[in-house]
Structure 1
Amino acid sequence: MPTGVAMRDVRQQLFDATERVLLRDGPNALTSRAVTTEARCAKGVLHRHFADFDAFLAELVQDRIARMDRQAAALHGSVGSGTVAGNLTEALTTLFESVGVAIVALITSRDGLRARLRETTPTGVPVLTEATAMLAAYLDAERALGRVAADADVGTLAPTLIGAVHLLFADREGPRPEAGAVHKVVTTVVAGAARDPLR
Protein backbone atom coordinates (compact mmCIF):
# COMPACT_ATOMS: atom_id res chain seq x y z
CA MET A 1 0.00 0.00 0.00
CA PRO A 2 1.47 3.41 -0.86
CA THR A 3 2.26 5.60 2.08
CA GLY A 4 2.46 8.99 0.37
CA VAL A 5 4.99 11.42 1.77
CA ALA A 6 7.78 10.39 4.13
CA MET A 7 6.68 10.66 7.75
CA ARG A 8 9.37 12.43 9.76
CA ASP A 9 7.35 13.26 12.87
CA VAL A 10 4.39 10.91 12.57
CA ARG A 11 2.60 12.10 15.68
CA GLN A 12 2.74 15.79 14.74
CA GLN A 13 1.81 15.18 11.11
CA LEU A 14 -1.24 13.18 12.19
CA PHE A 15 -2.21 15.86 14.72
CA ASP A 16 -1.88 18.60 12.09
CA ALA A 17 -3.97 16.58 9.66
CA THR A 18 -6.63 16.02 12.32
CA GLU A 19 -6.84 19.74 13.03
CA ARG A 20 -7.27 20.50 9.33
CA VAL A 21 -10.11 17.99 9.05
CA LEU A 22 -11.75 19.35 12.20
CA LEU A 23 -11.58 22.95 11.01
CA ARG A 24 -12.72 22.17 7.48
CA ASP A 25 -15.35 19.46 8.04
CA GLY A 26 -16.17 19.37 11.77
CA PRO A 27 -16.01 16.59 14.35
CA ASN A 28 -18.59 14.35 12.66
CA ALA A 29 -16.27 13.92 9.65
CA LEU A 30 -13.34 12.85 11.80
CA THR A 31 -12.37 9.22 11.24
CA SER A 32 -9.02 7.46 11.18
CA ARG A 33 -9.39 7.17 7.40
CA ALA A 34 -10.05 10.93 7.06
CA VAL A 35 -6.98 11.69 9.18
CA THR A 36 -4.61 9.38 7.34
CA THR A 37 -5.93 10.51 3.95
CA GLU A 38 -5.35 14.13 4.97
CA ALA A 39 -1.86 13.24 6.23
CA ARG A 40 -1.21 11.33 2.96
CA CYS A 41 -0.19 8.12 4.70
CA ALA A 42 -1.44 4.55 5.01
CA LYS A 43 -4.24 3.99 7.54
CA GLY A 44 -2.05 1.49 9.38
CA VAL A 45 0.41 4.24 10.33
CA LEU A 46 -2.02 5.65 12.89
CA HIS A 47 -2.76 2.24 14.37
CA ARG A 48 0.95 1.37 14.64
CA HIS A 49 1.51 4.38 16.89
CA PHE A 50 -1.72 4.47 18.91
CA ALA A 51 -3.81 1.75 20.57
CA ASP A 52 -7.00 2.93 18.84
CA PHE A 53 -8.56 6.07 17.40
CA ASP A 54 -9.84 7.40 20.75
CA ALA A 55 -6.35 6.94 22.24
CA PHE A 56 -5.00 8.99 19.35
CA LEU A 57 -7.61 11.72 19.88
CA ALA A 58 -6.92 11.77 23.63
CA GLU A 59 -3.24 12.45 22.88
CA LEU A 60 -4.27 15.21 20.48
CA VAL A 61 -6.29 16.88 23.24
CA GLN A 62 -3.41 16.48 25.71
CA ASP A 63 -1.11 18.09 23.15
CA ARG A 64 -3.49 21.07 22.87
CA ILE A 65 -3.57 21.36 26.67
CA ALA A 66 0.24 21.33 26.80
CA ARG A 67 0.34 24.15 24.25
CA MET A 68 -1.82 26.15 26.62
CA ASP A 69 1.12 26.30 29.05
CA ARG A 70 2.83 28.71 26.64
CA GLN A 71 -0.29 30.82 26.41
CA ALA A 72 -0.62 30.85 30.21
CA ALA A 73 2.98 32.03 30.49
CA ALA A 74 2.33 34.83 28.00
CA LEU A 75 -0.81 35.92 29.85
CA HIS A 76 1.01 35.84 33.18
CA GLY A 77 3.77 37.94 31.61
CA SER A 78 1.20 40.65 30.83
CA VAL A 79 0.24 41.08 34.50
CA GLY A 80 0.55 44.76 35.43
CA SER A 81 0.80 45.96 31.83
CA GLY A 82 -1.80 47.03 29.28
CA THR A 83 -5.34 46.70 30.58
CA VAL A 84 -6.96 43.75 32.28
CA ALA A 85 -9.73 43.66 29.66
CA GLY A 86 -7.25 43.99 26.80
CA ASN A 87 -5.06 41.18 28.11
CA LEU A 88 -8.07 38.92 28.65
CA THR A 89 -9.44 39.72 25.18
CA GLU A 90 -6.16 38.75 23.55
CA ALA A 91 -5.87 35.52 25.54
CA LEU A 92 -9.45 34.45 24.85
CA THR A 93 -9.22 35.29 21.16
CA THR A 94 -6.03 33.24 20.87
CA LEU A 95 -7.69 30.34 22.69
CA PHE A 96 -10.81 30.21 20.55
CA GLU A 97 -9.57 31.53 17.20
CA SER A 98 -7.42 28.47 16.67
CA VAL A 99 -8.68 24.93 16.68
CA GLY A 100 -9.84 25.31 20.29
CA VAL A 101 -13.55 25.49 19.52
CA ALA A 102 -13.33 22.44 17.23
CA ILE A 103 -11.47 20.46 19.92
CA VAL A 104 -14.20 21.24 22.46
CA ALA A 105 -16.86 20.10 19.95
CA LEU A 106 -14.87 16.92 19.36
CA ILE A 107 -14.67 16.16 23.09
CA THR A 108 -18.39 16.67 23.62
CA SER A 109 -19.33 14.53 20.62
CA ARG A 110 -17.31 11.35 21.42
CA ASP A 111 -18.17 9.28 24.49
CA GLY A 112 -15.05 7.09 24.19
CA LEU A 113 -12.79 10.12 24.04
CA ARG A 114 -14.43 11.74 27.07
CA ALA A 115 -14.03 8.50 29.03
CA ARG A 116 -10.29 8.42 28.26
CA LEU A 117 -9.85 12.08 29.14
CA ARG A 118 -11.58 11.55 32.50
CA GLU A 119 -8.43 9.67 33.54
CA THR A 120 -6.44 12.93 33.49
CA THR A 121 -9.19 15.55 33.72
CA PRO A 122 -11.80 14.07 36.08
CA THR A 123 -14.07 17.14 36.09
CA GLY A 124 -15.11 19.76 33.61
CA VAL A 125 -14.40 19.85 29.88
CA PRO A 126 -10.71 19.34 29.01
CA VAL A 127 -9.19 22.43 27.36
CA LEU A 128 -11.93 24.65 28.84
CA THR A 129 -11.04 23.53 32.37
CA GLU A 130 -7.36 24.40 31.84
CA ALA A 131 -8.27 27.67 30.15
CA THR A 132 -10.46 28.60 33.11
CA ALA A 133 -7.59 27.91 35.51
CA MET A 134 -5.30 30.07 33.32
CA LEU A 135 -7.70 33.04 33.48
CA ALA A 136 -8.30 32.61 37.21
CA ALA A 137 -4.55 32.65 37.89
CA TYR A 138 -4.15 35.79 35.76
CA LEU A 139 -7.04 37.58 37.50
CA ASP A 140 -5.66 36.56 40.89
CA ALA A 141 -2.26 38.05 40.00
CA GLU A 142 -3.90 41.27 38.83
CA ARG A 143 -5.92 41.35 42.06
CA ALA A 144 -2.68 41.16 44.03
CA LEU A 145 -1.51 44.29 42.17
CA GLY A 146 -4.78 46.12 42.84
CA ARG A 147 -5.85 46.15 39.18
CA VAL A 148 -8.72 43.82 40.03
CA ALA A 149 -10.91 44.52 43.08
CA ALA A 150 -9.81 42.79 46.27
CA ASP A 151 -13.26 41.24 46.71
CA ALA A 152 -13.56 40.07 43.08
CA ASP A 153 -14.62 36.45 42.78
CA VAL A 154 -12.05 35.28 40.21
CA GLY A 155 -13.37 31.72 40.55
CA THR A 156 -16.64 32.93 39.03
CA LEU A 157 -15.24 35.53 36.64
CA ALA A 158 -12.94 33.06 34.86
CA PRO A 159 -15.58 30.48 33.83
CA THR A 160 -18.01 33.27 32.99
CA LEU A 161 -15.47 34.72 30.56
CA ILE A 162 -14.79 31.29 29.04
CA GLY A 163 -18.48 30.55 28.55
CA ALA A 164 -19.43 33.93 27.16
CA VAL A 165 -16.55 34.15 24.68
CA HIS A 166 -16.89 30.49 23.68
CA LEU A 167 -20.46 31.25 22.59
CA LEU A 168 -19.17 33.99 20.29
CA PHE A 169 -16.85 31.53 18.51
CA ALA A 170 -19.06 28.40 18.67
CA ASP A 171 -20.80 28.85 15.31
CA ARG A 172 -18.37 26.98 13.05
CA GLU A 173 -20.30 27.95 9.92
CA GLY A 174 -20.54 31.67 10.66
CA PRO A 175 -17.87 34.36 10.41
CA ARG A 176 -15.36 34.72 13.21
CA PRO A 177 -16.38 37.39 15.73
CA GLU A 178 -14.65 40.74 15.37
CA ALA A 179 -12.13 41.79 18.02
CA GLY A 180 -14.51 44.52 19.17
CA ALA A 181 -17.24 41.97 19.91
CA VAL A 182 -14.89 39.87 22.04
CA HIS A 183 -13.64 42.98 23.86
CA LYS A 184 -17.22 44.10 24.55
CA VAL A 185 -18.08 40.77 26.18
CA VAL A 186 -14.89 40.83 28.27
CA THR A 187 -15.40 44.42 29.46
CA THR A 188 -19.00 43.65 30.38
CA VAL A 189 -18.00 40.62 32.45
CA VAL A 190 -15.12 42.33 34.29
CA ALA A 191 -16.64 45.84 34.53
CA GLY A 192 -17.39 45.52 38.24
CA ALA A 193 -14.01 43.99 39.08
CA ALA A 194 -11.34 45.69 36.96
CA ARG A 195 -9.75 48.77 38.54
CA ASP A 196 -7.76 49.87 35.48
CA PRO A 197 -9.23 51.58 32.40
CA LEU A 198 -11.24 49.07 30.36
CA ARG A 199 -10.07 50.17 26.90
Structure 2
Amino acid sequence: MDANSVTAICATVIAVASLVVSITEARASRRHNFQSIRPLLSLDCLRLNSGLAGIRIRNAGLGPAIIRVTTLYLDGDEVGPWEKQVVDPLRGTFAVWPNFSTLRPGKPIPVGQELMILAVEDYQPARDAEFWTAVTQRIRIHVQYESIYGNERQEAWFEGSPRHQIELPSHERDDAESSINNDAQTEPSQYL
Protein backbone atom coordinates (compact mmCIF):
# COMPACT_ATOMS: atom_id res chain seq x y z
CA MET A 1 0.00 0.00 0.00
CA ASP A 2 1.49 3.31 -1.03
CA ALA A 3 1.15 6.74 0.62
CA ASN A 4 -1.59 7.88 -1.77
CA SER A 5 -3.81 4.90 -0.87
CA VAL A 6 -3.36 5.53 2.87
CA THR A 7 -4.18 9.21 2.38
CA ALA A 8 -7.32 8.35 0.36
CA ILE A 9 -8.51 5.82 2.97
CA CYS A 10 -7.92 8.28 5.82
CA ALA A 11 -9.78 11.04 3.95
CA THR A 12 -12.74 8.71 3.34
CA VAL A 13 -12.88 7.66 7.02
CA ILE A 14 -12.73 11.29 8.14
CA ALA A 15 -15.51 12.26 5.68
CA VAL A 16 -17.78 9.42 6.85
CA ALA A 17 -17.10 10.23 10.52
CA SER A 18 -17.89 13.88 9.94
CA LEU A 19 -21.14 12.94 8.16
CA VAL A 20 -22.17 10.76 11.13
CA VAL A 21 -21.37 13.59 13.56
CA SER A 22 -23.38 16.05 11.45
CA ILE A 23 -26.42 13.76 11.33
CA THR A 24 -26.24 13.12 15.08
CA GLU A 25 -25.90 16.85 15.77
CA ALA A 26 -28.88 17.67 13.52
CA ARG A 27 -31.06 15.10 15.29
CA ALA A 28 -30.04 16.40 18.72
CA SER A 29 -30.74 19.97 17.62
CA ARG A 30 -34.15 19.02 16.26
CA ARG A 31 -35.03 17.12 19.46
CA HIS A 32 -33.93 20.15 21.50
CA ASN A 33 -36.12 22.43 19.37
CA PHE A 34 -39.15 20.20 19.94
CA GLN A 35 -38.52 20.06 23.68
CA SER A 36 -37.91 23.81 23.96
CA ILE A 37 -41.46 24.62 22.82
CA ARG A 38 -43.32 21.68 24.37
CA PRO A 39 -46.64 22.70 25.95
CA LEU A 40 -47.97 21.22 29.18
CA LEU A 41 -51.66 21.71 29.87
CA SER A 42 -53.23 21.06 33.24
CA LEU A 43 -56.85 21.26 34.30
CA ASP A 44 -57.95 21.68 37.89
CA CYS A 45 -60.81 22.93 40.02
CA LEU A 46 -60.33 25.82 42.35
CA ARG A 47 -62.23 27.99 44.77
CA LEU A 48 -60.64 31.29 45.74
CA ASN A 49 -61.34 33.59 48.68
CA SER A 50 -62.28 36.28 46.16
CA GLY A 51 -65.36 34.21 45.27
CA LEU A 52 -64.15 32.76 41.96
CA ALA A 53 -64.83 29.02 41.70
CA GLY A 54 -64.74 26.57 38.83
CA ILE A 55 -62.55 24.71 36.35
CA ARG A 56 -59.27 26.20 35.15
CA ILE A 57 -56.97 25.23 32.30
CA ARG A 58 -53.40 26.48 32.22
CA ASN A 59 -50.33 26.02 30.09
CA ALA A 60 -47.30 25.45 32.30
CA GLY A 61 -45.11 24.32 29.40
CA LEU A 62 -42.54 26.09 27.26
CA GLY A 63 -44.59 26.60 24.10
CA PRO A 64 -48.17 27.25 23.02
CA ALA A 65 -50.64 24.36 23.12
CA ILE A 66 -52.93 23.90 20.13
CA ILE A 67 -56.24 22.26 21.08
CA ARG A 68 -57.19 19.36 18.80
CA VAL A 69 -60.04 17.45 20.48
CA THR A 70 -62.02 17.96 23.68
CA THR A 71 -64.59 15.65 25.24
CA LEU A 72 -66.96 16.35 28.12
CA TYR A 73 -68.10 13.47 30.31
CA LEU A 74 -70.98 13.93 32.76
CA ASP A 75 -71.55 11.24 35.38
CA GLY A 76 -69.29 8.93 33.37
CA ASP A 77 -71.21 9.32 30.09
CA GLU A 78 -69.70 11.05 27.06
CA VAL A 79 -71.71 14.18 26.26
CA GLY A 80 -69.70 15.73 23.42
CA PRO A 81 -67.02 18.34 22.75
CA TRP A 82 -66.38 21.20 25.19
CA GLU A 83 -68.40 23.70 23.17
CA LYS A 84 -71.27 26.08 23.95
CA GLN A 85 -74.12 24.01 22.49
CA VAL A 86 -73.00 20.95 24.49
CA VAL A 87 -72.27 22.69 27.81
CA ASP A 88 -75.22 25.16 27.86
CA PRO A 89 -77.82 22.55 28.96
CA LEU A 90 -75.59 21.72 31.95
CA ARG A 91 -75.05 25.42 32.75
CA GLY A 92 -78.83 25.91 32.86
CA THR A 93 -79.19 23.44 35.76
CA PHE A 94 -77.27 25.62 38.25
CA ALA A 95 -78.66 28.37 40.50
CA VAL A 96 -76.37 30.92 38.79
CA TRP A 97 -75.48 30.76 35.10
CA PRO A 98 -71.69 30.11 35.18
CA ASN A 99 -69.23 31.78 32.81
CA PHE A 100 -67.95 29.52 30.06
CA SER A 101 -64.96 29.45 27.68
CA THR A 102 -64.91 27.08 24.74
CA LEU A 103 -61.97 24.89 23.78
CA ARG A 104 -62.47 24.62 20.03
CA PRO A 105 -60.07 22.66 17.81
CA GLY A 106 -57.21 24.87 16.66
CA LYS A 107 -57.47 27.25 19.64
CA PRO A 108 -54.01 28.10 21.00
CA ILE A 109 -53.33 28.34 24.72
CA PRO A 110 -50.23 30.55 25.06
CA VAL A 111 -47.44 29.85 27.53
CA GLY A 112 -48.38 30.88 31.05
CA GLN A 113 -52.04 31.52 30.25
CA GLU A 114 -54.68 30.51 32.77
CA LEU A 115 -58.25 30.33 31.55
CA MET A 116 -61.38 29.64 33.57
CA ILE A 117 -63.42 27.40 31.30
CA LEU A 118 -66.41 27.08 33.66
CA ALA A 119 -66.70 29.44 36.61
CA VAL A 120 -68.93 31.27 39.05
CA GLU A 121 -67.49 34.67 39.99
CA ASP A 122 -69.29 35.11 43.33
CA TYR A 123 -69.36 31.62 44.81
CA GLN A 124 -71.74 31.17 47.73
CA PRO A 125 -71.66 27.73 49.37
CA ALA A 126 -75.40 27.44 49.99
CA ARG A 127 -76.49 28.73 46.58
CA ASP A 128 -73.76 27.09 44.48
CA ALA A 129 -73.47 23.70 46.20
CA GLU A 130 -74.85 21.91 43.14
CA PHE A 131 -72.32 23.69 40.90
CA TRP A 132 -69.42 22.71 43.16
CA THR A 133 -70.64 19.09 43.31
CA ALA A 134 -70.74 19.00 39.51
CA VAL A 135 -67.23 20.46 39.25
CA THR A 136 -65.68 18.18 41.84
CA GLN A 137 -67.57 14.93 41.22
CA ARG A 138 -69.65 14.82 38.04
CA ILE A 139 -67.70 16.59 35.27
CA ARG A 140 -64.69 15.03 33.53
CA ILE A 141 -62.92 16.65 30.57
CA HIS A 142 -60.43 15.10 28.16
CA VAL A 143 -58.26 17.45 26.09
CA GLN A 144 -55.95 16.37 23.27
CA TYR A 145 -53.43 19.01 22.18
CA GLU A 146 -50.12 19.42 20.39
CA SER A 147 -47.23 21.85 20.00
CA ILE A 148 -46.93 24.28 17.10
CA TYR A 149 -44.85 21.66 15.28
CA GLY A 150 -47.95 19.46 15.29
CA ASN A 151 -45.96 16.27 15.47
CA GLU A 152 -46.87 14.78 18.82
CA ARG A 153 -50.29 14.48 20.39
CA GLN A 154 -50.53 15.00 24.10
CA GLU A 155 -53.48 14.82 26.42
CA ALA A 156 -54.72 16.27 29.68
CA TRP A 157 -57.59 15.12 31.88
CA PHE A 158 -59.79 16.97 34.31
CA GLU A 159 -60.95 14.45 36.88
CA GLY A 160 -62.57 16.71 39.46
CA SER A 161 -61.24 17.01 42.96
CA PRO A 162 -58.95 14.28 44.36
CA ARG A 163 -60.57 14.83 47.75
CA HIS A 164 -63.94 13.72 46.38
CA GLN A 165 -62.61 10.74 44.44
CA ILE A 166 -60.72 8.82 47.09
CA GLU A 167 -62.78 5.89 48.36
CA LEU A 168 -60.52 3.92 50.69
CA PRO A 169 -61.27 1.62 53.62
CA SER A 170 -61.20 3.45 56.94
CA HIS A 171 -57.75 2.07 57.95
CA GLU A 172 -56.20 3.53 54.75
CA ARG A 173 -57.99 6.90 54.98
CA ASP A 174 -55.46 8.50 57.33
CA ASP A 175 -52.64 8.02 54.78
CA ALA A 176 -54.79 9.34 51.94
CA GLU A 177 -55.87 12.39 53.94
CA SER A 178 -52.26 13.28 54.72
CA SER A 179 -51.36 13.10 51.00
CA ILE A 180 -54.39 15.24 50.14
CA ASN A 181 -53.32 17.82 52.69
CA ASN A 182 -49.87 17.92 51.06
CA ASP A 183 -51.53 18.51 47.67
CA ALA A 184 -53.68 21.25 49.14
CA GLN A 185 -50.58 23.05 50.38
CA THR A 186 -49.29 23.39 46.83
CA GLU A 187 -52.58 25.05 45.85
CA PRO A 188 -53.76 26.64 49.13
CA SER A 189 -56.80 28.35 47.61
CA GLN A 190 -58.10 25.20 45.92
CA TYR A 191 -60.11 23.88 48.85
CA LEU A 192 -61.80 26.12 51.37
Same fold (TM over 0.5): no
TM-score (norm 2): 0.25
More strand by percentage: 2
TM-score (norm 1): 0.25
More helix by percentage: 1
